[in-house]
Structures are given as structure tokens and as C-alpha cells.
Amino acid sequence: MQAFLDIFDIYLLEAVINGILLGGVLALLALGLNLIFGVIDVTWICYAELVMIGMYAMYFMVQYYGVSYFIAAPLTILLVAILGALLHYLVIAPLLTAPPINQLLATGGVLFVLQSFATVAFGIDFLNLGIRLPVLAFGDMHFSYARLLSFLAALVGMVAVYLFMTRTFTGTAIRAISQDRQIMALMGVDTKRIYLITSAIGGGLAGLAACLLVLQYDVHPFVGLSFGPITFLICVLGGLGNFIGGFIAAFVFAEIISLGGLFSDLEWGYVLAFAFFIVMMFIRPAGLLARRR
Amino acid sequence: MMGQGRLVAWGIGLTALVALPFVYRDPYHLHILVLILIWSFAYTSWSMMGRFGLVSLGHGGFMGIGAYVTALLWNHLGLSPWIGIPIGMVAAGALALIVGYPCFRFRITGHYFVLVTLALSGIVLQIITATRDYTGGSLGYTPNRASGNKLLALQFDDKITWYLIALAVWLGGIVVWHLIDRSMSRYALEAISEDEDAAAAAGVDVTAEKLKITLISAVMTALAGAIYCQYQMFITPDTVSGIAVSLQMVFAAIVGGLFVSLGPTVGAVITILLAETLRIGFGTRAVGWDNLVYGVLLVLFIIFLPKGILGSLLDRLKPQRKVPRAHEQKAVQTARPGT
């Protein structure tokens, strides 16, 4: 009995820590989505598909053209950032005055486009980077090095965005617009430019997430569906546009998935997370950190 | 209130549709027609909510429940679909109430509502995949072939029977649409979609009205899923459930026009013909192309033609508000070959 408890505790601890590591990347994704929602008031349903395109970019650069991982990563971030800006320029900008639902559905159309573009261009095979990072053994616990790296890189990315938002003029303008989008135009801020920059940053964060996720997961056209919905749930749970709420919610979700996966299949972890989400909608409909009215 | 001309046009149109399989019996074309009718019904069900600004991405979940509950009850308990389908519909309705009530009670609207319903279809998809011991997971599921009475098992081999069933179900959907169109709920819901506070102040029970329409929409979608399952005799989580199906519903309804009763039908005609044409034209190379075209069209439609093909056509055809049904029929006719 005692031996059983020991093993159980080790596994539990391992699952908890793996959950935290998973939470880092989820928090990064949620941050990008929250940023775009907070500033432009649009939900990119196709956000995870941008990540998918980034993962393909990484795959082809590293595997096909033999570019080193650390050179390919910035290029991918840049590429997805440009994609984000393009998405805003081509799809969202013409719809800025349309009902919000139309903007959301238009990005749903982009989801279809990106997914099927990947299917047509790259086929439906599962591709992987072929980089096998070692597994860290810490006592009796095993952690994937890739996850640790992703966690740290995600943290660095988030801190960088935080510094940008608080220390630069553009960042301050972005935060101001998220508070009042009408007045800022009167204060001499070019809202169109700010929207484009925000979209590019949102895209860049997706690109960073792509560089990290490609280390852990195989790429295929539908890979976005495996973490896209969970990202939306995290954002809603944290309160759409609420950065800190999204950050906390990401870790809560990651723990639920990780611990649920410990006791049963990984899918049940997801089911548990979804169920938790719906229960939370009863209790805190406007998000974890919503101000009480 | 229905005008004489309208009634005659509907009568002629329906007679033609009922007579069609007895005159023209190419099995492939009939198959396409059955698919169009079933999906039209599903899209119509979605539009019941969608037209009032309640954009749901959870209908893939309701459809999946309808299909899987019916098939599972038949295979594991031997319950006839005649009982299984109502159970599936009740299950979907219960789920709609469970999710809908907090949403409407706590006034989760707009983005939030879309994302919550998105979670719903995600849950259903994951549960179907996770319970793979019973549902076959992502490999799909086949209802057992009936050994005895075909009628009891709701399994028919000939396409004509299915065509008539699908036609009846589809017609039922259109009738429900018109009933709602003429009811007080329609005005209440339109008021709600314009301004919830104002509607509540004017004495509209916002939560109850929204729940009612959600319930109707979910139950009908579950029926569509069950009929689809019985017709195809093979379902996978991806074809009847999940986010892709939900988005497909939204897309078809918007392309056809979600504010007119035949709009979703036009949407189904266009999307299915498009997919079939691409499939035949390009063969296996077409994998992905249909969705690519869908996606581009969806974006273009939302930007340039938010009322959909039929809605915009009707707007153009009629100078006055009320239009004789004959014009609408003509609009459908002109919209079809242009695909």
C-alpha cells in the first residue's frame, strides 16, 4: 500500500508539473487571442490555423531546406506576423463596421481556407521535425525537454509583449485603444496603423507558439483543431480581452487536462476541461476575474 | 393570409418534387437530392436561431447526438429508430437547455455565445472519440443491418423511399419556419436581437423566448442527424459532429441567405453541388479544394453579400415589401444553375 502511494505521488507530481509546462504554451496562445480581442474587438476563429501554417513553415525550413532551427524560428514568427497583418487588412478591415458576428464568421471562412490550403499544398500526412530532444530525468520523474523549452520560451515571449505594451509609445497607444476606441482617434492616434500592428503582434505570438509546438507535435492540416477550441475556452474563461485572466485560466485548463489524462485517457482530460468550462459559465459568466457589478 | 398565387406556386412546386423520383430515377442524382434535402433541413434548423443573431457553433454537437444516440440505441439495445430518434431529439433538447439557460440567464451574447457553443460541439466530438469502445471513435460507426422488418428499423434500400422521407422532413422544417415567422415569438426575438434591454423593458421574457427558439432549433438539428445516419448507414464524428460541421451549417445558411425561408435550402443546393462538381471534376486531387472554395466564398459573401444569394436576389426583385411566392420560386430557379 505504501509503495503504491509513493508511486502515485510521483506520477501526480509529474502530471502537475507537466500541466504547468503545457500551460505556458496555452497561455501564449491565449495572450495573442486576447490581445486581438481586447484591441480590435474581433475573435480570430482561425487563430490555431495560423499556428498550423507556422508549424508547416518550420517543418519545411528545417527539414526541407536544412535551415537551422534557431534561424528558422524568427523567420517563422515574421511570416506568421505578416499573415496576421494580412488577415486584418484583407478580411477584418472591410468588416470593422459590420456586426461583430460577421467578423467572427469571416475568420471562420479563413479557417476553412487555411485548413484546405494546407491539405491541398502539403497533403494530409503527419509530418514531424525529426528533432528528438532528450528527456530530462529528475529523481523518478521524467519531463520532456521540449516542453520545458517551450515553457521558458513562452514566458520570455509573454514578458517581451508585456514590456512592449508598457514601455513603448505604440504599446501604450494599443492599451489606450482597448479602453476607448472612439476617443483615441481624436487624440491623434492612427487607429488603422495600431490595428495592423496589433494584428501583426498577435500573428507573431502565433508564430512563436508554432515554433514551440512543432517540437512536440506532428504537423497536419487539422492540427489546429486539437488546440484551437481549448484556446478559445481559455480566453472566455479568463474573460475575453483580459490578459491576466487568460494567463491564469491557461494554467487551470492545462492542469485539468494533464491530471484528467493521468487518471484516464487524454480525451477524458479534454472532456473534463470542457465540462469544467460549462460549469464555470454558470458561476462566473464574464470570466474568472470579472469585476463584480 | 397566404396569397392565392403563393399557394398555387407551392402546390405546383411540391407536386413536381413528389412526382420527380417516379419520372426520373437516376440513382446518383436521387442520392444527391436526398443529401441536399437532409442538409437543407439541418441548415434551416440552424437558421431558426441564426436569423435572430443567435449564432451557434454548437449545432454540430446536436446533430452528432441525434445521429449517435439513434445508432447506439439500435445496435446495443435493439431499440427501433422510431423510438431512438425521439430519444436522441430529447437528449439534444436537454443539452440545449443545459447550455442555453446559463447563457441566456446571464446574458452571454455575441462572441461569448459563439465561443461557448463552440465548446459544446468540441465536447460532443471529444466524448464520441473518447468512448471509442462503444462508438467506434474516429473510425466511424455503422448501424447494424436489420434482419427483420425494414420499416421498423427505418432502413430502406431504395432511394425513392428515402427521397420521399427527406422531402417530408424538409417540408416539415419549412413549415416550422413559417409558423415561427408568423408567431409573436418572431417579433419578440427580433426585438431581442436589436436591443435586449429595450425588449425586456417592453415586457418580452428574453430568457424564455431565446430558450424556446434554441430548443426548437436543437431538436430539429438532432432529427437531421438521425435521418442522415439512417440514410448513409455510416457516421463518423467528423461528418456529423464537431466544429467543421457547425461551420459548414453557418456557411451554407449565410451563402443562401438566412433571413428567408428557402435561403438555407439554396445554400445547401449550392454547397453540395459545388462539392460534388469538384469531386467529379478533380477526383481525389480535389481533396481540400471544396473547402478552399467554401472558405473563400464565405469570406467574400460576408463582406459583399451578407444577406446571401436568395436574400439579395429577393431584395432586388421586389420593389415592395411583400413578394408573391412565384417570384421567390423563380429566384430559386435562377440561383441554381449559376453554381
Cell matching residue B328: 421567390
Q: What is the pLDDT of residue B62?
A: 93
Task: Tell me the DSSP string of A135-183.
Answer: EEEETTEEEEHHHHHHHHHHHHHHHHHHHHHHHSHHHHHHHHHHH-HHH
Cβ separation B122–A274 shorter than 8 A: yes
Q: Do B123 and A91 touch (CB under 8 A)?
A: no
pLDDT at B155: 81
Cell 427580433 belongs to which residue? B190
Residue B303 has pLDDT above 80, yes or no: yes
Contact list, B288 vs chain A (CB under 8 Å): 115-120, 221
* Closest chain A C-alpha to B55 CA, distance in angstroms: 7
What sign does the CA torsion over A284, A285, A287, A289 have? negative
Q: What's the pLDDT at B215?
A: 94
Predicted pLDDT of residue B179: 92
Pair B89, B223: CB distance under 8 Å:
yes
CA-based nearest distance A68→chain B, Å: 31
Asked if residue B337 has pLDDT above 60, the reply is no
In B, minimum Cα distance to A284 occurs at B106
Close Cβ partners of B316 (under 8 Å, ≥ 6 residues apart): none
- What residue spans of B195-288 are helical by DSSP H? 196-201, 206-232, 237-240, 242-256, 263-282
Q: What is the pLDDT of residue A226?
A: 77
Which secondary-structure segment (H or E) carries B302? helix B289-304
Q: What is the least distance, in Å, from the CA of A233 to any CA of chain B?
A: 7
Q: Would you say residue B338 has pLDDT above 60?
A: no
Contacts of A267 in chain B (CB under 8 A): 126-127, 129-130
Q: pLDDT band for B65, please (50, 70, 90 cuts).
A: very high
Identify the CA nearest to B52 among candidates B244, B182, B186: B186
What pLDDT score does B327 carry? 45
User: Measured between CB atoms, which of A99, A117, A265 is closest to B130?
Assistant: A265
Of A43, A116, A124, the CB nearest to B115: A43
pLDDT for residue A2: 55
DSSP B129-157: HHTHHHH-GGG-B-PPPPSS-HHHHT--S
Q: What is the pTM (predicted TM-score) of this model? A: 0.82
ipTM: 0.75
Can you give the pLDDT of all 293 residues of chain A as single tens digits? 455 555 556 677 777 887 888 888 888 888 888 888 888 888 888 888 999 999 999 888 888 888 888 888 899 999 999 999 999 998 888 888 877 777 888 888 888 889 888 888 887 778 877 666 667 676 666 677 777 888 888 888 888 888 988 888 888 888 888 777 778 778 877 888 888 998 999 999 999 999 888 888 888 888 887 778 888 888 888 877 778 888 888 888 888 888 877 776 667 777 788 788 878 877 777 777 665 44
Alpha-carbon gap, residue B57 to B122, rounded angstroms: 10
* Residue range B226-250: mean pLDDT, rounded: 86
Question: Could A267 and B287 be called an inter-chain contact, meaning their C-beta atoms sit closer than 8 Å?
Answer: no
Contact B292 A113 (CB under 8 A): yes
Collapsing DSSP to helix, strand or coil, B78 comes out as coil
What are the distances in angstroms from CA B118 to CA A208, B58, B122, B250?
25, 5, 6, 12
CA distance A193 to chain B (A): 21
Q: Cα(B223)–Cα(B225) distance, rounded to whole angstroms?
A: 5
All residues of chain A having their beta carbon less than 8 Å from the beta carbon of residue B292 are: 112-113, 116-117, 120
Q: Give the one of A104, A115, A271 whose C-beta lies nearest to B126's C-beta.
A: A271
User: Model confidence at B284, in pLDDT bands (50, 70, 90)?
Assistant: low
- Going by C-alpha positions, the residue among B2, B14, B31 that lies closest to residue B233 is B31
Q: Which residues have C-beta within 8 Å of that of residue B92, sequence separation ≥ 6? A: B61, B62, B65, B66, B218, B219, B221, B222
Q: Which of A40-49, A186-195, B318-327, B329-338 has the lowest mean pLDDT?
A: B329-338
Q: Locate A57 and state its grid cell.
A: 513553415
**How many A/B residue pairs have CB atoms within 8 Å?**
146
Q: With contacts defined as CB-CB under 8 Å, which chain B residues touch A277? A: 119
State the Cα–Cα distance between residues B43 and B183, nearest whole angstrom: 21
Q: What residues contact B242, with CB distance under 8 A and at least 6 apart?
A: A225, B60, B61, B64, B121, B122, B124, B125
Q: Mind listing the pLDDT tens digit for each residue in B161-173?
A: 889 999 999 999 9
CB B294 within 8 A of CB B251: yes
Under 8 Å between Cβ of A111 and A45: yes
For B125, the closest chain A residue by CA position comes to A271
* Cβ-nearest to A105 among B103, B123, B254: B254
pLDDT digits (tens, 9 = 90+) for B189-216: 988 888 888 888 888 888 999 999 999 9
Output the nine-digit C-alpha cell for A171.
504599446
A116 and B290 within 8 Å at the Cβ level: the answer is yes
**Cβ neighbours, 10 Å, residue B175:** 11
Substitution target in A86, A240, A267 with the highest count of B β-carbons within 10 Å is: A267
**Cell 492540416 belongs to residue:** A221
Option in A100, A116, A233 nearest B291 (CB): A116
Candidates A45, A114, A267; nearest CB to B129: A267
Residues of chain A found within 8 Å of residue B113, distances taken between Cβ atoms: none
Query: Can you tell me the distance from the alpha carbon of B307 to that of B313, in angstroms, rounded to the nearest whole number?
Result: 9
Determine whether the interchain pair B129/A106 forms a contact, defined as Cβ–Cβ distance below 8 Å: no
B118 with A285: Cβ contact below 8 A: no
Residues of A in contact with B242 (CB under 8 A): 225
Cβ pair B115:A285 closer than 8 A: no
Collapsing DSSP to helix, strand or coil, A219 comes out as strand
Amino acid at A36: I
pLDDT at B46: 92
The pLDDT value recorded for residue B133 is 82
- Mean of all residue pLDDT scores within chain B: 83
